[in-house]
Structure formats: structure tokens, C-alpha cells
Structure 1
Amino acid sequence: MTSWVDMPLCAVDTETTSADPNTARLVTACVAAINGSEVDSRTWVANPGIEIPAEATDVHGITNEYVREHGRPHDEVVAEVVEALYVAWESGRAVVAYNASFDFTVIANHSPGFEVRGLIVDPFTIDREFDAYRKGKRTLADVCEHYGVRLDGAHSADGDALAAARLAWKMPRVYHVLALASADSLMESQANWYRERQYSYIDYLRRNNRPFDDVSVEWPVRTQKATAA
């Protein structure tokens, strides 16, 4: 069995119009193929075709004026991002995405027929499984700080993508059992870990009489919502 850690990495990140992947559209995206110390990175700016809310601009700094001047048509950008991901998988790369169910749901929602064609490594899902009871937030910045990983340019697509790749490299060196997994078994495990964690969250919401109909248990693409464990 070949371990997934022997695979070269490619990282993806998106910055969007919304924190809800079911309605979000791309504003920027980065796909970065990593070859040792060399990084072959491509970054896109998309005009989402809708207004970017102020709360989204406050996070990633991209304004409506900027995308009108510099952005390319949204669907063209999505198609090129998807093609870059397919090339990465076809060349045997593991594609890293922090909180992958967000990015891949956004991409899938705007790319009819999109397929996951290889390994996705999600440091967010892995961290929640292997250090489940650690207190504090699980933002990319917080998790990078916890593992001693550099994050340059937080909330920029290229900065976040490269930080996620560093986490993917570091985690199997912290949790050695991760390095024993094949690509297929890691994909299956991450889907199970995510599902179990989400069902646990649903139980918490139910016990506290809070709504949970919008909580999805699917990974890496949120294809349906769960209403009961």
C-alpha cells in the first residue's frame, strides 16, 4: 500500500461573496502545485456578477470596484479552476483545501458535472478528529498557530492555500498514524470523521432547542442536509 504522504501536493483556496457555500460565488481563487521548495501557483480574480457584501469585503479585502475593473467572468474562472484541479489529480497530486467542504461545494454549485477525481486532504477535518477536545477556534490562522505553521497573507487565496499545504505536510508528522493511510482510505476516513462530527453537532443543537436543518453531513461536497442522526 502506498501512503498518501508520498504524493506531491496541490493546494486550493477560494475567497467568495458569502460564508454560505450554497449561495457563495467566487471572488478570487488559487490553485498552487508544490514541488519541494518550488510553487507553481495560479490566482484568478472573478467578477461574481452580484454585489460583494461589505461583510465579505471586510474579510478578504476585495471590493466591487476591484472585481469590475480586474475580474473575469465568473463562470469562465470556475471552469479554469476546475480544469486546474483535474490536471492536479490526473498528475497524481493530493489536493489540499482547508475546510474543503466549503470550497468544493462552491465550485460544484457553479460547475455542472464537477467530479472529485482524486485525493482531497482537509487539515480542518483532520485537526478536529485528532485533537477533538482542544479549546479555542479552528480558523486557519488559529490552527496554523497551534501547529507552528506559517501563514502569509491571511484571507488571500494564495496565502491561505499555501498555509493549508504546510498543514497537510505537518500533520502526518505529528499524528504518525495518518502517514499509514492510502489515498483511498484517507478519503473514506475524512468523510466519516466529518459526518460523525456534524451529527454530534446536530445532537448538541437538538438538545439546546436550536435549529439544525441547515447542517450538512456530506464531505467534500455538501450535497444534502441532515435532519436527524
Structure 2
Amino acid sequence: MSGEIFAGFRVLGFDLETTGFDVRRERIVEYALVGSEVDGSRINLQSLVNPGKRIPIDSTNVHGIKDVDVKNSGDFSEHITNISRMIEGAIIVGHNVIKFDWKFLEMECLRAGVEVPRPRAIIDTYVIARKLKIPGRHTLGILCDKYGINLENAHRADADAGATLYLLWEIMKSYPRFFRGTIDDLQDSLAGIRNQDILGPSLVDLEPVSGSGGNLRINNSNIVIAFGKYKGRTLEEIKKKDSRYLKWLFSPSSPIPKSVSEEYSRKYLN
């Protein structure tokens, strides 16, 4: 998954198929997590799940999964360890994921008596499409058609999860300004805290601090770090959030040249 905003994170498309729509009564029958690791290596975790109840014919007509298909697939408790390992700390991308898929995952974790995994962020392409007021209906199928994405085997978890990643990429190319800033900026914007006009310039648009090799950049009166886990954050923010990291940043083991480190350490470490 390309895109400066997601650099340094595991990025996964996430989708579920279920026995129905009522999160309190229905169960998961299939899940998929597809995408890439931080190093770019491919991830494809998917499986059928035995829901412990009959799959209604109306649901089978949507996703094609029958009782016989899930008979030997194990119940959700047998899958949660692998699911949690992948989701923990990752950027999760889904279509209507916040109101549907994630709610089902939370309920299944509650039933299994395990903690809900904690992703770094959940990015919902349905919410993005509405936020950007993309013309037309915002179903996954219609949006994929609009952006020329081939959605074969629609309503199977792996196909929908993969298509959602491609959809996000196409939207990012069409609306690049909306995705400038950090992952936290994007989440704030989707939550209505900020809007796309104040997400700020891209790091590549900011003037580098002289002698920093581009690792530090100037945004008005603020100095912004352009690499690592706090990429896109100001030194003032890092000072308040993680003073140990700031000390490392100005240490000899940091990629910041010594002359620049000495200048800024006097200001931010005292």
C-alpha cells in the first residue's frame, strides 16, 4: 500500500461475512485481512468460521457460504489469536467497517472472553466517500465500478477486503489534499474534528531545516520531524509526548547531523 501517510505501518483491508445483520444475534462465517507488512511483504489471512448456528438461505444467497462449507472450520475462538496478532497496531481499512465489521468483531471477542485487538487506526472508505461527497451511491460495488476496480467474487471476505484497499488508493490519488498530514489528522478529519482545508501541507512541500538532510522541516514557526514513528509531528508535540524519543533524536545514534542536533537540543531538551 503506497502513500506517505501510511509509511511505517502494517496496512490491512478487513472484511467479514456473517449469518445476518443483527450484531447481537448473528455470527461471523468468514474473515479476511489482506495487505502488507511494514517492509512491504504481502499479508493474506483469511478463513471460514463455524458460526455455531445454521446459515440462513438469504445470507447464503449473498455470500454463497453454506453450512457444509463451515462445518470443519472451527468456531471464532479458534481464530481470534491470529486475527488479533495481525490487527494489533495496524492500520485497518474497510468499507462500512466501523458500523458493521468492527461491531461484529467486538461482539465475537466479548463472547469468547478475550480483549478486542487494538489497531493503530481504522479507516472507513464508506465514511471517506461520504465526507468527500463523491458523486453517486457509496456502496463498495458502485465505487469500485466508478474507479475501474475489478471486484470479482463480491461479498466474499478476501475479495471485498482487497477491493477496499484498491479503492482507498484510488481515492487518495483523486483527492490527495485530504490525505496530507498524519494518520491522526486523517482520523480527526473523518470524525469531524478537522476538515480537509486545514490538514496542512504535505511534508514534501515543507522547507527542510538547513543541514538536516530533510529529516527536519519547517512548518510556519514549528519544526516537524520527517521520518520514524513520529513522522509529521512537531518537536513540541514529541517533547510533551515522549521526551525519551526526543533525547534519542538529538543523540549521536540519530540520523540528525551533529551540528543540527546541538542547535535544537539546546532549545528542546532544556
**Would the TM-score normalized by the shorter structure come out above 0.5?**
yes
Question: Please, which of 107, 110, 113 is the counterpart of residue 109 of structure 1?
Answer: 107
Q: Which among 82, 85, 98 is matched to residue 84 of structure 2?
A: 82
Higher alpha-carbon deviation: 113-122 or 12-21 = 113-122
SS in 2 for 1:29: strand
- Corresponding residue number in structure 2 for 1:15: 17
Q: CA deviation at 1:99?
A: 0.9
SS at match of 2:49: strand
1:58 Cα shift? 0.6
Please tell me the residue identity of whatever aligns with 1:180. Answer: R
2:104 counterpart SS class: helix
Distance, in Å, in 2 between the alignment partners of 1:82 and 1:8 is 13
1:40-73 Cα deviation digits (max 9, x unpaired): 20111110011111111111000112211x3212
Whole-Å separation in 2 of the counterparts to 1:179 and 1:190: 11
Q: Which amino acid in the other structure matches residue 183 of structure 2?
A: A
Structure having greater relative contact order (Cα 8 Å, sep ≥ 6): 1
In 2: Cα distance, 1:42 partner to 1:5 partner? 20
Aligned residue in 1 for 2:217? none
Change (3 A) 1:98 1:151: same
Give the drift of 1:126. 0.3
Alignment length (residue pairs) = 184
Q: Aligned-residue CA RMSD in angstroms?
A: 2.4
Correspondences of 1:138-157 after superposition (within 5 Å): 138-157=138-157
Q: Given the two structures, how large is their TM-score scaled by the length of structure 2? A: 0.62
Structure 1's 155 and 170: CA in aligned 2 closer, same or farther, altered over 3 A?
Answer: same
Matches within 5 A, 1:153-168: 153-168=153-168
2:92 — aligned with what?
95
Q: Which of the two has greater helix per residue?
A: 1
The one-letter code of the counterpart of 1:49 is: G
Match of 2:30 in 1: 28
Q: Is the 8 A contact 1:98 1:122 kept in 2?
A: yes
Q: Counterpart amino acid of 2:86?
A: A
In the TM superposition, what is the alpha-carbon distance from 1:115 to its structure 2 partner? Answer: 4.4
- The residue that corresponds to 2:179 in the other structure is 179
| Residue aligning to 1:199 | none
Question: Take 2:55 and 2:67, find their aligned partners in 1: how far apart are those partners?
Answer: 6
Residues 163, 8 of structure 1: alpha-carbon distance in 2 compared, 3 angstrom cutoff: same
Q: Counterpart of 1:95 in 2: which secondary structure?
A: strand
Residue identity matched to 1:42: L
CA contact (8 A) 1:5 1:179 kept: no
Per the alignment, residue 169 of structure 2 pairs with 169
Q: Percent of pairs identical after alignment?
A: 26
* Larger radius of gyration between Structure 1 and Structure 2: 2
Using the alignment, how far apart are the partners of 1:118 and 1:173 within structure 2?
23
2:29 maps to a residue whose letter is: V
- Listed one character per residue, the Cα deviations across residues 111-152 of structure 1 (whole Å, up to 9, x for unaligned) are 1331433122211110111125x33x3221111111222223
Query: What are structure 1's unaligned runs of at least 5 residues?
Result: 194-229
